[in-house]
Amino acid sequence: MRIIAKRTLREFWEKHADCRPDLEDWYSIACTSDWASPHEVKKTFPKASVVGNSRVVFNICGNKYRFVVKFAYKTRIGFIRFMGKHNEYDKINVEKI
């Protein structure tokens, strides 16, 4: 998978250093994966939540933070759409972000 953009992850972990190892691990796994469907993402990350409109929600740091990735499975690209604390996530419309 090609993940757009690692810079977004890096900027987030620079503000929240406690999540850096989790985000680096996620990025490494995602970049070496060839997910063709949400089901395949769930096989790799069973605790991820598949929501509508090709989005998957990932929890990091014991669910302290969440991030949303919109996947274009045909082209194998994941677009990071949101990163934030759990309470910030509660304020967004995950299917439209």
What b/e readout covers 47-67, taking b as 16+ CB neighbours within 10 angstroms? ebeeeeeebbbbbbbeeebbb
pLDDT tens track for 29-57: 999 999 999 999 999 999 999 998 999 99
- Percent of residues, the chain, with pLDDT higher than 90: 91
Would residue 15 count as lying in a domain? Answer: yes
Domain extent, residue 65, equals: 2-89
In a domain, 94, yes or no: no
Tally of structural domains, the chain? 1
Res 35: pLDDT: 97
Look up residue 48 and give its DSSP letter: -
Q: Could you tell me if residue 79 is inside a domain? A: yes
pTM (two decimals): 0.93
Q: Is residue 97 part of a domain?
A: no
Q: What percent of the chain has pLDDT over 70?
A: 100
* Mean pLDDT, residues 4-17: 95
**86 pLDDT tier (thresholds 50, 70, 90):** confident
